[in-house]
Amino acid sequence: MAPKNDLSELEKKIGIKFKNKDLLRQALVHRSYLNENIGFDLDNNERLEFLGDAVLELVVTQFLYENYKEPEGELTNWRAALVKGSMLACIAKSLSVGDYLYLSKGEEKTGGRSRELILANTFEALIGAIYIDQGLKTAKKFIEKHLLSKLPEILSKKLYIDPKSKLQQITQETMGITPTYKVLAEYGPDHAKSFTVGVYLKDKLLGQGSGSSKQIAEQSAAWSALETIKE
């Protein structure tokens, strides 16, 4: 499946018309695509992701500081719940970002268009591209509309509580079992490794998640397990 080339559809979904269309395109270029397409006219999206991550943290931190009087530790937990990979990937999916990704054939075959880590990183790259093209004010509006609007639900459902601790508390209270975590897969170069981790109750796989570190992947797996238990 080739990426959708008509970026005007994506611009409508995100509510932003780019001055420099190549910035938007670059935000969608996964590093794997360049390995198979030598001489492609754009770089991958990792530098934009680096920038977007910083813009995202600034905007979210400023919003929490200005609107809530809770102590630093509580605000840190809220921010972590907002900017975690699964949340960013969920928003990217709602905007159909995966349809526009430039991926290698290998990533394509293994479901890269819906992979949480790739979508989360692309969402950050998109923020970086918006920041360069339109400035902080527009990037802030985008983040407020698509991400900060999720905060009331996070607070009402207490989704900011550490998922590993919450899962362990539930399983020990209801079953007398402590969950265990196991790395199911490692992929990517040494400087940019990604991990998929499964969480088990005895021998039963309860959930799995991916991330750029084992810790992040474990957190994602714990969230997945909590959703399974809730269902």
Backbone phi, then psi, for 209, in 5-degree steps? -155, 165
Catalytic residue among 49, 107, 116, 124: 124
Q: How far apart are CA 71 and CA 173, in angstroms?
A: 29
Last residue of a domain, one of 133, 154, 175: 154
pLDDT of residue 114: 87
Q: How far apart are CA 231 and CA 191, in angstroms?
A: 37
| DSSP assignment of 42-89 | S--SHHHHHHHHHHHHHHHHHHHHHH----HHHHHHHHHHHHSHHHHH
Same domain flag for 172 and 133? no
pLDDT of residue 73: 87
**pLDDT tens-place string over residues 93-122:** 999 999 999 999 888 888 888 888 899 999
Q: How many domains does the chain have?
A: 2
101-to-25, 63, 84, 192 alpha-carbon distances in Å: 9, 30, 21, 19
Task: Collect the ranges in the chain with pLDDT lower than 70.
Answer: 1-2, 191, 231
Whether residue 77 contacts residue 160, with contact meaning beta carbons closer than 8 Å, is answered with yes
The question of whether 124 is a catalytic residue gets the answer yes
Same domain flag for 121 and 220? no
73 found inside a domain: yes
Whether residue 12 contacts residue 6, with contact meaning beta carbons closer than 8 Å, is answered with no
Same domain flag for 147 and 194? no
Catalytic residue among 49, 53, 107, 218: 53
Structure tokens at 50: 């680096």
Last residue of a domain, one of 154, 187, 215: 154
pTM of the model: 0.75
The question of whether 133 is a catalytic residue gets the answer no
CATH code of 32's domain: 1.10.1520.10
1 found inside a domain: no
192: containing domain: 163-230
CA-closest candidate to residue 84, choices 160, 19, 170: 160
pLDDT of residue 1: 58
